[in-house]
Amino acid sequence: MELSEADKKLVMELEYHFPFSETPFSELASKLNLKEDEVIEKIKELIDKEIIKRIGMYVNFRAKGMEGALVAAEIPVENLEKYRKITLGIKELTHNYIRNHPKYNVWFVLKSEDLVKLKENVEKIMKESGGREYIILYSKKNLKLSVKYDIIRGVSYSEPEQIHEKVPTAEELGIPKELLKDLSYPLQITNRPFKSIAEKYNIKESELVELIKELKEKGVIKDYGATVNGDKVGIRENAMMLINSDDMESSCYSLTKNLKEATHVVLREPDKKWDYLCYAMIHGATRKIIFEVAKKGIKIAKAKSYLLLFSLDNLKPGIVI
């Protein structure tokens, strides 16, 4: 589907300026000089055409009391299909890519209730799929998550986020854990998308919207708005940039604050010897664009060395959690 200029404008508004409102589509319609029904129907069409994956928000896994890790795995080529089928059935496993590392050809993200269980689950996946060596890169600090695409320029782009050293859990916030789970699902594309959730918890829609705004300010809610399918809007390349520096934490903080094209920035902790612990994701229409962004990132991070690992195949496409 070829996007018109009006479609692109709508998609960008949904990504970057989705309103905190009981009637967000009505507010967007007013801003774009359209009718609310027109906006809703167009969004449904864009979802049907798989241009928009969802509209909603990501709930930080730490707020759910979970742990996470990036895993670099060596899976024999002849076992890749077996591995893919096994991992398709694991909902806690996301971002599952074949990448151009000379040894570790598969990179995936896994969440679990604690670090012991996480390691057990990685070992189980590796054993069942006939994997060889692997490295678990635990999430020490998740500094940025904002998967926004500037579809005019053809690159991922978002303003720096507030860095939260600690994200409160549902228990600490005094809200039901089930509510965070419900907020993880895509919003209904109706004139009052928060209505059913508010009714379930016997609160007013306005109260729910204010709570979501508060949760975003506390780092519990990330990536509020539309999640776009990069492949469908010409942003078909992505690379994982891993930095080695004299001060990994400082490098990660600098990337979070200054590399606007980074969608994720994470400081990691390995389970064995591994030099590259500051991690960032870059998405672009071409590899040339990604190389240009990476050059900026290397300078910002004061990197001694780096890896730039491009995605060669997505083993679990369409997953948004």
- pLDDT tens by residue, 173-210: 999 999 999 999 999 999 999 999 999 999 999 999 99
Residue 317 confidence (pLDDT) above 80: no
pLDDT one-digit tens code per residue, 31-57:
999 999 999 999 999 999 999 999 999
Q: Please provide the CATH number assigned to the domain covering 1-55+140-321.
A: 1.10.10.2890
Distance, in Å, from the CA atom of 105 to the CA atom of 143, rounded to the nearest integer, reads 26
Distance of CA 66 to the CA centre of its chain: 16
For every residue of 243-295, DSSP letters joined together read EE-S-HHHHHHHHHHH-TTEEEEEEEEESS--S--EEEEEEESSHHHHHHHHH
- Give the integer Cα–Cα distance in Å for 285 and 277: 26
Phi/psi of residue 238, nearest 5 degrees = -145, 150
What is the mean predicted confidence (pLDDT) over 72-88?
97
Q: What percent of the chain has pLDDT over 90?
A: 94
Which two structure tokens, joined as six digits, stand for 19?
Answer: 């309103």
Residues 240, 137: contact at Cβ < 8 Å? no
Q: Closest Cα partner for 144 from 224, 212, 222, 217?
A: 222
**Cβ atoms 282, 262 nearer than 8 A:** yes
Residue 165 confidence class, pLDDT cut points 50, 70, 90? confident
Q: What is the pTM of this model?
A: 0.93
Tell me what the pLDDT averaged over the chain comes to. 96
DSSP bridge partners of 269: 138
Q: Domain limits of the chain?
A: 1-55+140-321
Express each pLDDT in 265-312 by its tens digit: 999 999 999 999 999 999 999 999 999 999 999 999 999 999 999 999
